[in-house]
Amino acid sequence: MFVLMGLEIEMVLKRKHFIYLSMLLMIMLGVYIRYLAVQYSIVDSPVRADAQDYYSYAVNMREWGVYSNEYKASVSPKPDSLRSPGFPDFAYIFYNSNQDIFVKNILIAQTILQIVSFAFLFFVLYRFYGALVSLITGWFLWTFPHFVNINIYFLSESLFTSLLASLIGMAVLSHFSERKKILYYMAFALLLGFAILVRPTLQYFPIFLFFIFYFYYRKITRSAVWILIISLLPMLLWGGRNILVIGQWSDPTLMINGLYHGSFPWFMYNDIPESFGFPYHFDPQASEVYQGIGRTLEIIFERFIADPLNYLSWYLVGKQFFLWQWSIIAGQGDIFIYPTLASPYYGEKISLFTYSVNKFIHLFWLIGAFSGLIVVIKRFLKRETLSFALIVISAVFLYAILIHIIVAPFPRYGIPFKIPAMIIFAITFSEIIKWVKRKFA
């Protein structure tokens, strides 16, 4: 008997050693391909379009003490609130008067932050969901080429992805840890608040999550209230600053862009192939939308009435195909946003191997993720037992689906939200394996 027990213990230890070795190898692989990407990728004119705005904010805060997106200001610029301050404040920390060095500092910093946040989520998933869920999610976290490649651009996606991974990891930690639970809840809420300042798309999520908790528990819980208040606090402070400095809560330009750019069925103007990705360049009414959100909605409604079936299929189905697809549009394409002159993904063998595997299984795991989300929603409606962590992960995934029915579903915007989708897939796959084992035991 004792011999059998000893053999079982030895097998468990060997299994743990194998798991730890697998996790270590995944992290090393992830660090290596990220090093290659940041070190050897060359982006053509990295400070362009959105990146130019972020760069200008950081520079003007440092040199003039003014939050403004005026590029290369020669005198103190006029303050504005076009973009939220999350990424510019992050960039401000690593400022250098030399543009190339400044950009390089940001790329390195956001890559390191992504490695740390992914490692945190990786180990938390292993501790509380087991090896299979952790290793499946870990493969995606460390090798998914979109996660690796967003670090080479002076854009908010990398920072937002890191914050999303961290707050999901904190949600898992807060559910399974009995001691200091309230502190973990507060940390989760703060990370959510900072994430909102990086990408305002998430600004309605705290309210969305609050109502999800209310419908599930059939009451307003104290933890839900605290999470709502703390997560909204950074955005409220930002809005207060805007009222004091520029006289309005926020600049509606980005909201108008989101509604307007997302209103073109299949990202084309009147089905003109040449307009794909940039339909607003072909629209004679493009300038009218900036008269206000009311005028934007009026134009969209008029077009919806003129072609209801096309618009219904676009809003209810078509947008999801673009949001979650592999290739980025309104950019270079594939896994590249801005034109990239050199990249390890053009020829380096290990990078290309991870790229090929991920591209091959991409559609498969996305189908699994959506199927898993449907199962979670059914369990939610039946009020079956669900953990705080699983509710949060599913809520982030569902929120990304719903909010992009309204705004522009550019694939670039969907990259960070693939983290909760990957975890849902991993949990679903793990449950299927357990069911098969029980069935044939």
Is the model's pTM score more than 0.75?
A: yes
pLDDT category at 433 given cuts 50, 70, 90 is confident
pLDDT at position 182 is: 85
- In total, how many domains does the chain have? 1
Cα–Cα dist 410/412, whole Å: 5
pLDDT at position 6 is: 44
pLDDT at position 14 is: 58
pLDDT category at 210 given cuts 50, 70, 90 is very high
Q: How many CB atoms lie within 10 A of CB 45?
A: 11
Cβ pair 297, 406 in contact under 8 A: no
Task: Encode 83-127 in three state secondary structure.
Answer: CCCHHHHHHHHCCCCCHHHHHHHHHHHHHHHHHHHHHHHHHHHHH
Cα–Cα dist 205/13, whole Å: 42
pLDDT at 168 over 60: yes
Distance of CA 257 to the CA centre of its chain: 19
DSSP assignment string, 43-70: ESSSS-HHHHHHHHHHHHHHHTS-----
Mean pLDDT computed over every residue of the chain: 92
Cα–Cα dist 166/140, whole Å: 16
pLDDT at 2 over 90: no
33-67: pLDDT as tens digits: 999 999 999 999 999 989 999 999 999 999 999 99
∠ at Cα 148 (146, 150), nearest 5°?
A: 65
Cα–Cα dist 327/234, whole Å: 33
Phi-psi region of 65 (alpha: psi -120 to 50; beta: other; left: phi over 0): left
Cβ pair 299, 288 in contact under 8 A: yes
Q: For residue 145, give its domain range.
A: 2-440
Backbone angles phi, psi at 97, to 5 degrees: -65, -25
369-422: pLDDT as tens digits: 999 999 999 999 998 888 899 999 999 999 999 999 999 999 999 999 999 999
241-257: pLDDT as tens digits: 999 999 999 888 889 99
